[in-house]
Chain A
Amino acid sequence: MKITVDGDVKEVKDGITISELIEQENVETPEYVSVSVNEEFEQRANFDTRKLKDGDVVEFLYFMGGGQ
């Protein structure tokens, strides 16, 4: 199936979970990433069980603390 991750369309296995996607995408600091699916935040507690569907739009939002 195809989903959009951070703006790019990607082919992923059917029913991939958020946790699996995080691993597959090599997300940095996975313990602290915020994830939105179709413009709604998903709770961290559901990352292991939330299965993504064809056409879902997933965004990873990262803490970025620099500025000085």
Chain B
Amino acid sequence: MPFTNEQLERYSRHIILKEIGVKGQKKLMNGSVLIIGAGGLGAPAALYLAAAGVGKIGIVDADVVDLSNLQRQVIHTTADVGRPKVESAAETMRAINPDVEVVTYHEFISSANIMDIIKDYDFVLDGTDNFPAKFLINDACVMADKPFSHAGILRFKGQLMTVIPHQSPCYRCVFKTMPPKDAIPTCKQAGVIGAMAGVIGSLQALEAVKFLTGAGELLTGKLLTFDALTMKFHTVKLPPRGDGCAVCSDHPEITELIDYEQPVCEFKPGKD
């Protein structure tokens, strides 16, 4: 289908880019991205991907908007407090760009539903805030051969990596197993600067755009870290995907999804 005049105008800054152009914009409009977590990372990613005209965007989150979310989750407003995050996020995304089909999943992801949810999307963004979810997303995406972007943020730092399963190293290649409950501080315990979610979530959106359009080089085989206090970006080259990984090697030990215990992030004084 040719672009309408409104679309030509709306996406003109994309279309003028030689790496995107008319072809790339069509790929975005025919593409689909699933965002798991409508929070700090998911908010900027959802805003930019909706604005970019990605054809279908799924958004998964079981929570409602809390006042303490608004310091960084810029897709929600004060009036949204108490509403399901997916509803609030979808409303903002549709307001930005009515072209986009937004699909909401007001539920927690688990081994029971994740395969069914991710199967309908080209690319997955992990914007979750806990390790059980991060390992579940990694393992499910590896098993389903679904490319995805992992990211994490804490205090003034953030990191991300893109995984093309069975080609590039996965999250489990780097971080073998779940850390014990409360071993690693969470944002709730240790804090996070709001704009950090904006930086890293926007980088995830960029990876999704690059994946869908084929522009440039993906952040595969590398972990990008960002420290806002020193303003340093650093790319760590990862060892190649080897035989050692429990889930993405050619003879994996893990062949079924695992629901790790959900660590509810209680504040433990003195823990960090």
Binding site for B on A (CB under 8 A): 6-7, 28-29, 31-32, 34, 36, 39-41, 59, 61-68
**What's the Cα separation between A61 and B151 when bound, in Å?**
13
Residue pairs across A and B with Cβ atoms less than 8 A apart, 15 shown, are A7-B232, A28-B272, A32-B184, A34-B175, A34-B176, A39-B239, A61-B175, A65-B129, A65-B184, A65-B187, A66-B154, A67-B126, A67-B151, A68-B41, A68-B187
Chain B, residue nearest A59 (CB):
B236
A64 touches B153 (CB 8 A): yes
User: Within 8 Å of chain A (Cβ to Cβ): is B53?
Assistant: no
B158 touches A64 (CB 8 A): yes
User: Within 8 Å of chain A (Cβ to Cβ): is B31?
Assistant: no
Chain B, residue nearest A41 (CB):
B239
A65 touches B223 (CB 8 A): no
B184 touches A40 (CB 8 A): no
User: Within 8 Å of chain A (Cβ to Cβ): is B95?
Assistant: no
**What's the Cα separation between A59 and B238 when bound, in Å?**
10
Size of B's binding interface in residues, CB under 8 A: 42
User: Within 8 Å of chain A (Cβ to Cβ): is B24?
Assistant: no
B130 touches A65 (CB 8 A): yes
User: Within 8 Å of chain A (Cβ to Cβ): is B37?
Assistant: yes
Chain A, residue nearest B155 (CB):
A66
User: Within 8 Å of chain A (Cβ to Cβ): is B92?
Assistant: no
Within the complex, what minimum Cβ distance (angstroms) separates B98 from chain A? 27
User: Within 8 Å of chain A (Cβ to Cβ): is B93?
Assistant: no
**What's the Cα separation between A34 and B230 when bound, in Å?**
22
Measured between beta carbons, the chain B residues less than 8 angstroms from A61 are 174-175, 223, 236
Residue in contact with B153 in the complex, picked from A6, A40, A59, A66, CB distance below 8 Å: A66
Which among B40, B128, B238 has the greatest number of chain A C-beta atoms within 10 A? Answer: B238
Within the complex, what minimum Cβ distance (angstroms) separates A22 from chain B? 16
